Structure 1
């Protein structure tokens, strides 16, 4: 299991490893009228687009194709492409992502009085960092507003 920590910066949420090196970040920028959201991870930029009924679902793309998308109605994240993968999530006090009853991601929120929350994240070794950042974004979207 990999252990990460996520902390808020200025209009961004940054993911750090155990030895405090930056893994990736979720960034919001203002572009004319709307906000643009994207993930920087492994020297790549992934665009986040809200879709679906009441903008509940999210697509993560690398500019050419959609890599992951959420299905809020069935509580799942789907990886597209040759190695299609379907993961189910539970969001409550803790936030977990499962693939066939195997825990992939576990996110716990730690709040301090009048400060931004800090998230502690445990990942299975098979999980890529882009999926971890997407699930972190999806499960903490209310904190980023």
Structure 2
């Protein structure tokens, strides 16, 4: 028997869309997130964009008891009765390295994807906004070029 053929990686690949790094090393993740939030507030006022508190230092036991989930996407965007999508944003570190998905992020986003929710990871807020529109988010306008 070929035991090596039975081995499979425990590290799953993303089942959802992941945008390639955009090369703009000046913008960190925070600036990109703020821009996405601004676009949704200004151009999609019927939608709600909510940031998931899943980062930073905290008491892990208390956080777990409060429902904080490691790897949960940065944003939940909702509109209407059934409109919902999840967005993970990435940027660049101060050293100029592109952010990468952690295995916990891949696992959580794959779980949401398997449940039938639209999930994607972006570097550019413009692409994230356009993707949300493609998912059905109503808008009153588009991003100016």
| TM-score bin (small chain) | under 0.3
Higher strand share: 1
Higher helix share: 2
TM-score (norm 2): 0.28
Q: Radius of gyration: which is bigger?
A: 2
Greater relative contact order (CA < 8 Å, ≥ 6 in sequence): 2
TM-score (norm 1): 0.28
